[in-house]
Chains A and B, each alone.
Chain A
Amino acid sequence: MKLLRRTLISILLIAVALLGLDSRLEAQQIRVITTTPELADMGKQIGKELVQVESLTRGVEFMHAVPVKPSFVPKLNRADILIEMGLDLEISWLPALMEVANNSKILPGQAGNIDCSVGIQVLEVPRSVDRSEGDVHPKGNPHYNLDPLSGRIMARNIANGLSRNYPQHKPVFEKNLNAYLNELDKAIARWQAMAMPLKGVKIVTYHVEWSYFANRFGLQQVGMIEVKPGIEPTPNHLISLTQKMQQEKAQVIIYGPQSDRYPRQLASQTGATVVRLQSIAGGSSETDSYIKFIDYNLRSLLAAVKKG
């Protein structure tokens, strides 16, 4: 009996000690939650050992249809910093989670909320916001992460946001940011050279998320599979899109986390090549960092153009 009591007390003490140690170890690091894997990658690059970073999404999701999982709530509840893409990219799921996360310091507008869209030259800001135009984003196209030059601004915003909250670590964040930007700049120069064969290539996209990517690398968008953003195509729309693709000699059909049914149907009718690209980083070892993700998209597209 005595032995049992002693054993139980020992286990309890060890558990308490471990818990204490665990929380002390955790307390040393800044808890950063990001909405996408590329933001997590940048957060890690800039915060290094000062931060503990986790992304809510895995990188395979369609950002407008991420499930509102209650398992995200404790993560948001304990976060010191939330890094989000902004421009309403997370509108369909993040505000619902924030409702119950009981963490006022990471609410929009608060110091702990880092909005990476600050300073981005936003494309496709609608002149009038009306749902007859589909699921429009009143603040403009939020898929700016696909332009690597936006990546520089995203990284800068993360460093600024971390320094705003932890000014004592500013020199470290700045040093890490500069190292990351140097690496990114080298990659950008490489991508610009790599993307030369893409100049003027005519593409059709499933959704509107490829505008920034197309602009940066000189691709020419000639049509969209969705009738309007978020609205599946009708048979008439597909017929007119097929005709347009034939007239314009569209070479490539790009889709992301959508079904390949319509892209393949269009490809069989027009001879264009179908390619699936990633609209956010993550999802596989080939795209688990921002640089690898842009690299993967470019390489996949180049291979598709070559094939076409």
Chain B
Amino acid sequence: MALSVLRMPAVAASVFVIVSLLVPAFCLAQSSELDALRSMVKNMEQQLQKALRRIDQLEKEKTSDTARLGQVEKSVKAVQSAPSALNPAIGMAIDATAEHRAKAGGDFNFRAAEVGISASIDPYARAYAFITGSKEGVEVEEAAMVTTSLPLNLQARAGRFFADFGRLAKFHPHEYAFVNTPLSLERIVGGESKADGVELNYLFPTPFFLRATVGGYNKLGAENVRLDDTKSRSWSRFTYLGRLQTYFDLTDNQSIEVGSSLAYTPSIRIPQDPHGGSRTLTGVDLTYRYQPLGSTLYQGFTVGAELFGNSERVERESGFRRMFAPGGYAYAEAKLTREWAAGFLYDNAPSLASPGKKTIGYSPFLTWNLSEFNRLRFQYSYLDDKVREERSERGHQFFLQWTTVLGSHTHGFRNR
């Protein structure tokens, strides 16, 4: 007992020593574990916050997507149920002038109400039509089918359309930079290159733009009334066309476009040559554009010129003679502000029968674009006429033109 009593303090002391030695170690271990736990919790908290933020963001996007999808669903349903769901794009251009011609008098000239219709037909083709009403009546100016997925970079077109001859011949007149069709284009080509036939385009696989066209038509030219294209006839009396066109960016802001066209009719029976000699119509077109990329809304400068040549037989007292009639036009147009543009047109138009006689035209013009779809234009023309075929083609002339566009209206790549 005495021993045990004696031993008690020793045991207690040992226990005390052991505990004293162990507790700090325990405490130390506990605190490091706590720290680890703390950092783990902190880390988890951070991760949770990050995940919450992400969920928040995704939720927001999802809500907005759902809201939009709801709207889209509604509009899709509305569109699907509309009877007009598959209607093509339709638009109309209205073009009218008030004119005064010194030798012919005044006129309110209702030039055109042109309805344009276009749509895809199926995955292989699209179609478009321009039906124009004017004071001369209603006419299908163009109604053509165009392929969209031919192999080998080919594109075919058939029906009635503006054949790929030159540049301006493919414009509808309300799209010109000036009021009237240049007389050179009208006399030599026959105005717009309207033709019934078929055309094949080939885009060369070159790094620059190079495009070739071949075509065959009943005849060429909207105003070409010398030929009747409503009857069947020998294939030698059709017109065949070839064209090559290229384009280069000179700098970011400047470009040049060059084309050459040839339309050949092996045998043309016209009043001047009822026996049917051949006719060769040639053309070279050049367009220079300055389009400063950063300010195309306000600035720009275009120079466009075309040279035409017509070679056909004409009856003379001495018999039939082949006559070559050269002519052409050149214009320059400067964009002054977003709304205003001004320019000048020079026109050199020969008589096809007597190429020595010419009408030379000088026309300054001023255009006010109230908006993209509403345009007023003033033009003065002086025509020095030695041909003397039409009273309306000579002397001083004044034009005030108003052109508007309703609905969807585009003539696409060719009218750029």
Contact = CB atoms under 8 A, between A and B. Distances in A.
Contact of A71 (B65, B208, B339): B208
A104 B298 contact: no
Interface string A101-112: 110100100000
A115 interface: no
Contacts of A99: 412-413
B413 A68 contact: yes
Contacts of A74: 203, 205-209
Interface string B289-330: 101011111100000000000000000000000000000000
Contact of B209 (A70, A119, A135, A152): A70
A53 B159 CA distance: 39
A308 interface: no
Interface in B171-205: 201, 203, 205
A69 B57 CA distance: 41
Nearest to A152: B61
A67 B297 CA distance: 10
A125 interface: yes
Contacts of B257: 70
A119 B67 CA distance: 10
B121 to A, nearest CB: 13
Query: At the interface, is chain B mostly helix, strand, loop or mixed?
Result: mixed
B65 A119 contact: yes
B140 to A, nearest CB: 21
Contacts of B339: 232
Contacts, number: 99
Contacts of B297: 62, 65, 257-259
B248 interface: yes
Contact of B203 (A100, A104, A149, A231): A100
Interface string B139-155: 00000000011100111
A104 B206 contact: no
A153 B68 CA distance: 14
A133 B416 CA distance: 25
Contacts of B64: 121
Interface in A90-106: 95-97, 99-102, 104
A135 B67 CA distance: 26
A238 to B, nearest CB: 15
A77 B338 CA distance: 32
Interface centre among A62, A65, A122, A135 (most CB of B within 10 A): A65
A58 interface: yes
Interface in A2-16: none
A131 interface: yes
A231 B201 CA distance: 38
A78 B203 contact: no
Interface residues of A, number: 42
Contacts of A119: 65, 68
Contacts of B296: 61-62, 65-67
B255 interface: yes
Contact of B155 (A65, A100, A257, A258): A100
Contact of B67 (A96, A101, A121, A153): A121
B155 to A, nearest CB: 6
Nearest to B149: A104
Contacts of B413: 68, 96-97, 99-100
Residue among A67, A69, A70 with most chain B CB within 10 A: A70
A120 interface: yes
Contacts of B155: 100, 102
Interface string A52-64: 0000001011100
Contact of A69 (B211, B249, B373, B410): B249
B372 interface: yes
B414 to A, nearest CB: 9
B24 interface: no
Nearest to A259: B298
A131 B373 contact: yes
Contacts of B247: 69-71
B205 A78 contact: yes
B136 interface: no
Given A61-B294, A77-B203, A102 B153 contact: yes
A80 B281 CA distance: 40
Interface string B350-376: 000000000000000000000111000
Interface in A136-195: 149, 152-153
A83 interface: no
A128 B260 CA distance: 46
A189 to B, nearest CB: 9
Interface string B104-133: 000000000000000000010000000000
Given A131-B406, A134-B371, 17 more contacts: A58-B293, A67-B291, A69-B247, A71-B249, A78-B205, A96-B413, A100-B201, A102-B150, A102-B153, A102-B154, A102-B155, A131-B373, A135-B371, A153-B61, A231-B371, A232-B339, A259-B338
Interface of B: 57, 61, 64-65, 67-68, 71, 123, 148-150, 153-155, 201, 203, 205-209, 211, 247-249, 252, 255, 257, 289, 291, 293-298, 338-339, 371-373, 406, 410, 412-413, 416
11 contacts: A65-B296, A68-B416, A69-B247, A70-B247, A71-B255, A73-B209, A74-B208, A77-B205, A131-B406, A135-B371, A259-B297
The 4 tightest CB contacts between A and B, nearest first, are A104-B149, A70-B247, A70-B209, A121-B64
